[in-house]
Amino acid sequence: MLVLGAGGAGLCAALHAADASPALSIAVVVKGLLGRAGCTRMVQGGYNAVLGEPDSLDAHFLDTLAGGGWINDQELVWMLVSEAPRRVLELEWRYGCLFDRTPDGRIHQKPFAGQTHDRTIHKGDLTGIEIMNRLAEQVAARPNVRAVEECRALELLLDDEGRAAGALGLDIRAGRVVAFRARATLLAMGGGPTMYKVIACSSDKSADGVALAYRAGLPLRDMEMVQFHPTGLIVPGSLMTGALLEEGLRGAGGHLRNGLGERFMARYDPARMERSTRDLVARASYLEVVEGRGTPNGGVWIDVSHLGAELVERNFRGMVRRCRDFGRDLARGPIEVGPTTHFMMGGVVIDPACRTAIEGLFAAGEDTGGVHGANRLGGNGVAESTVFGGIAGDAMAAFVTGRRAPRLATVALEAAARPYLQPCERATAPGGPSLYDLQRELRALMWERVGLVRDADSLARALGEIERIDHRLDEVGVPGGPSFNIAWQDWLNVRNQTMVARLIVLSALERRESRGAHYRRDFPAEAPAALYSVRVAERHGAPAVWTEPVALTRVTRPATAGTPAMVEIGD
- Which residues does the annotation mark as catalytic? 229, 250
First to last CA, the chain: 29
Nearest to 359 by CA among 412, 399, 407: 399
Give every CB contact of residue 136 below 8 A, 6+ residues apart in sequence: 6, 11, 34, 35
Where b means 16+ CB within 10 Å and e means fewer, 463-476 reads bebbeebbebbeeb
Helix%, strand%, coil% for the chain, nearest 5: 35, 20, 45
Distances, alpha carbon 522 to alpha carbons 171, 227, 375, 394, 458, in Å: 46, 20, 20, 45, 11
Three-state SS at 164: strand
Burial class of 508 by CB neighbour count within 10 A (0 to 12, 13 to 18, 19+): buried
* 44 SS3 class: coil
Distance CA 43, CA 318 (A): 11
Q: What DSSP string describes 256-300? A: EE-TTS--GGGGT-TTTGGGS-HHHHHHHHHHHHHTT---TTS-E
Whether the Cβ atoms of residue 552 and residue 565 lie closer than 8 Å to each other: no
Q: Give the Cα separation of 138 and 12 in Å (integer).
A: 10
Beta-strand runs (E) in 74-199: 109-110, 120-121, 145-148, 151-158, 164-171, 176-181, 185-187
Partners of residue 523 on adjacent β-strands = 520
DSSP 198-210: SB-S-TT--SHHH
Measuring CA to CA, how many Å separate 156 from each of 2, 408, 441? 11, 12, 29
